[in-house]
Chain A
């Protein structure tokens, strides 16, 4: 145990002395939190609408007014004929083209039925669908109002409607940042835990100090533990820093118990650091570590549920995701922060992450040969 103390002392001195470490610890969280949380949003805001109003009637103007008053849409132009709508879509000046046909109002009054056409830039299928559904509900709303005003609200026979009034639990105001911020923190912690520790270990191989340690009576687990513990501490510092930023900048509520979160994060880190160290144990150069960690990180992050819900992935992908430590942690951090979940609510995740950690740590220790 004493040996471990000397090794830890060495690691900490080296890390503190390493000037490139500080920006990673303090600048990376700020940048990622501020940029990613704000930028990586699936919310639809201000879709640019080009209206081709070939009717120019009261009814069509009311529709345009309604569009203008909607926060999701921005009417950039109203043309009375379709002369360059396609072009505008192509150039990306407009995201949506709404075609109001000639005789829109007349047909609506006479036939009680009329079609509008929506042309949506669907390069991003997600936002195209959102645009469509927002537009749809806007037009339905418009439709109801129009009927009411034309027919005169029939006092005795109000239009039959089922109204669903949602109540959003755990994030009542649907602030997207509350969903993203905890997720970004997981990414931060993962990068520090997996990547920095892996690079640190393989560097010792590159400069040759590893060989020197290999001819000493150091035990394998002591060496691996000495590589893990400092980065565990740093990762928890980064997490705290991230939480602070989330609180100060996004006013992220924290409903859970901090200790529960730190406990889970520690168990989670055991797994990702174990993987990182395993990668560096089987690699000879920093380059190899970069490529291998990049490979795992990319898959882990994209499949973690940070951006897209795991539930909407195909079944096989969901099953595969049980091998992804980030999948558990993403769930854990969101539930602890937003729902106030406790240890027992997340025991399945706890056990899974613990198992992951034990396996990875053992693999790293086993695969680490004290031979050159």
Chain B
């Protein structure tokens, strides 16, 4: 990967809550078009990190550049260039599929004509055309996730942040969800995803493994498996955890 293709640049990024150090001197780069996984147990500092990257939290210290913008001073400008989907995916359950699409497209300032085209395209892709007037509340979980992801990238952001996006669904549904992620990455959207599912880690181009606020490993899944002499990411994770005790 080329240096000029860096879309997220993090150096010595620290976030403290009082005396508690949630993220301790994180440093890494994320390159354009890759799927970058952020792994770790609950409480390892993943969510705090992703929230700083999308401007939801102000870092305590360090350097942070997202899509060429400063993560301290240009947080609002960053928000135009990124998409975000959180673990409690945040569609409006009391609005219909179509109303949700209209709202988020509207918020990102997509012109009406383009919005209409995009809406039809999106409904067709997600096979939701017949469900457009259904309340989101009445959709199955897997569909809600797919819709939430599609809305997170409706404005063609350069990066999309996914915070444990596929919690609570079975591996098959998760696999289908990942097809959408691949598609987005293929179109040039950089994907930054946190997860604690090790099967998801296998789908990433590169993964960073976090433990107690620090990045303890960062490489491609293949390289990590080789380094730790494991057959799966699960094995890598277990061995890493043991060595850090």
Chain A residues in contact with chain B, CB under 8 A? 2-3, 5-7, 9-10, 13-14, 17-18, 207-209, 211-218, 370-372
Contacts and interface: CB of A to CB of B under 8 A. Distances in A.
A209 B79 contact: no
A372 B102 contact: no
4 smallest CB-CB distances across A and B, nearest first, come from A6-B106, A212-B90, A208-B88, A215-B84
Contact of B86 (A5, A13, A14, A211): A211
Given A13-B95, A18-B94, A207 B88 contact: yes
Given A18-B94, A212-B90, 5 more contacts: A3-B107, A10-B99, A208-B89, A215-B84, A371-B55
Contact of A370 (B76, B83, B90, B108): B76
19 contacts: A5-B106, A10-B92, A14-B95, A208-B88, A209-B90, A209-B91, A211-B86, A212-B84, A212-B86, A213-B107, A215-B84, A216-B79, A216-B107, A217-B109, A218-B107, A370-B56, A370-B75, A371-B57, A371-B58
B233 interface: no
Contacts of A371: 55-58
A10 B95 contact: yes
Contacts of B82: 215
A214 B57 CA distance: 11
A217 B94 contact: no
A224 to B, nearest CB: 15
A7 B107 contact: yes
A226 to B, nearest CB: 11
Nearest to A372: B56
Nearest to A10: B103
Secondary structure call for the A interface: helix
B30 interface: no
A214 B107 CA distance: 11
Nearest to A206: B88
B92 A215 contact: no
B80 A217 contact: yes
Contact of A3 (B56, B76, B92, B106): B106
Given A215-B54, A371-B57, A6 B79 contact: no
Interface size band for B? 20 to 34
Which of B51, B75, B83, B90 counts the most A-chain CB atoms under 10 A from its CB? B90
Contact of A217 (B76, B86, B91): B76
A6 B103 CA distance: 6
A5 B103 CA distance: 10
Contacts of A370: 55-56, 75-76
Contacts of A10: 92, 95, 99, 103
Interface string B6-46: 00000000000000000000000000000000000000000
A2 B106 contact: yes
Nearest to A210: B90
B105 to A, nearest CB: 8
B127 interface: no
B124 interface: no
B93 interface: yes
B233 to A, nearest CB: 28
A370 B107 CA distance: 15
Contacts of B55: 215, 370-371
B156 to A, nearest CB: 14
Contacts of A18: 94
Contacts of A208: 86, 88-90
Nearest to A215: B84
A215 B83 CA distance: 8
Contact of A17 (B83, B94, B109): B94
Contact of A211 (B80, B90, B104, B106): B90
A18 B135 CA distance: 13
Contacts of B94: 14, 17-18
Given A212-B86, A371-B58, A217 B79 contact: yes
A8 B2 CA distance: 45
Interface in B130-153: none
A209 B95 CA distance: 12
Contacts of B91: 209, 212
B168 to A, nearest CB: 14
A76 to B, nearest CB: 58
A215 B93 CA distance: 19
Contacts of A9: 102-103, 106
Contacts of B89: 208
A14 B82 CA distance: 27
B150 to A, nearest CB: 14
A223 to B, nearest CB: 10
Interface string B64-83: 00000000000110011011
Contacts of B95: 10, 13-14
A17 B94 CA distance: 8
A235 B184 CA distance: 45
A331 to B, nearest CB: 40
A10 B107 CA distance: 11
A211 B88 CA distance: 10
